[in-house]
Amino acid sequence: MKTLEGIGEDELIARLVELVPTGIKDEGPGDDCAVVDDGGEDLVLLKTDALVEGVHFIRESDSLKVGWKAVARVVSDFAAMGGFPERFLVTLALPGSISLEWVENFYRGMGTCFERYGAVLVGGETCRVPSGSAAVISLAATGRVERGSVVMRSGGNVGDAIWVTGELGGSLAGKHLDFTPRLEQARWLVEHFKPTAMMDLSDGVARDLPRLAIASSCGFQLDQAAIPLSENCDVKQALQDGEDFELLFTLPEVHGLEDEWQQKFPELKLTKIGILVEKGAGDSLAGGWDHFG
């Protein structure tokens, strides 16, 4: 019997979505959020996400930070689409042995992130898992994006430059609990230098850049010497650690981007790390995070 072990997350998703009805046009799976046109002034963004004890956090983690991370991961996905978050639902599946203080501080951490990015909690569910099982935290959220502002992974073109925000690597050393989703920066980019394609770096450049290139029917050339490194990290960590939650985006060569970025966001790096090329050409990358790899 074939199991999930070794199948790879992307292949698993591709197989599963063939088994059910999916959305039309841009509404289907494959981007950081689902985009739904409900006839309103803006487009609706839908997102689900999950944190599993032993995979995304450990019981000894500061639950204030785990709560922040739970919401910030979703905010980062809304940012990657050029949009913003609105309403959240949270499901907790917890062992009875977990402390009340841990759970309360988890909610305080979520609340801090809600307040920072203008979102609210509107409901959810709580249930118990069997003794010895891992805690599982699931979030569902809605957001919005103006019709002219939505950015997909699939819009990149041959010749577009590839950019990243911030510094990469270090999640395995604790950075994954202490990051800032780039909502403000993404909204500014869309208004002033709208990217052709964009996503957030959740699984590492080695996993996410090929996804963006494939979605855009392109290849890529990567300048590894240009990769902006977090403190005490090497290029391999920057490419493969994952959970950077920085923006990865493409743009035609434009005048003034770096100067205007520096003026607007002087504390945050913006780095050109490569270029999109013809499909089938360019570099290849291996590694990065894969739940079923």
153-278 classified as CATH 3.90.650.10: yes
Q: What is the pLDDT of residue 155?
A: 96
pTM score:
0.92
Instruction: Give the Cα separation of 181 and 80 in Å (integer).
Output: 9
Count the neighbouring beta carbons within 10 Å of the beta carbon of residue 230. 18
How confident is the model over 42-62, as a mean pLDDT? Answer: 96
Q: Copy the structure tokens of residue 244.
A: 């950077």
Q: What is the pLDDT of residue 36?
A: 94
Q: Copy the structure tokens of residue 123.
A: 């409901």
Instruction: Calculate the alpha carbon distances from 139 to 114, 121, 179 in Å.
Output: 13, 10, 18
Q: What is the pLDDT of residue 55?
A: 92
CB under 8 Å to 25, separation ≥6 — which residues? none
Predicted confidence band at 29 (pLDDT cuts at 50, 70, 90)?
low
Q: What is the pLDDT of residue 293?
A: 67
Q: 229, 38, 56, 48: which is closest to 135 by C-alpha? A: 56
In the chain, domain spans: 9-146, 153-278
> Is 290 within 8 Å of 206 (Cβ atoms)?
no
Instruction: Give the Cα separation of 35 and 47 in Å (integer).
Output: 9
CATH assignment of 9-146?
A: 3.30.1330.10
> Is 110 within 8 Å of 58 (Cβ atoms)?
no
Q: Of 72-76, 187-191, 288-292, where does mean pLDDT reach its minimum?
A: 288-292
CA 284 to chain centre: 21
Asked whether this chain's domains 9-146 and 153-278 adopt the same fold, the reply is no
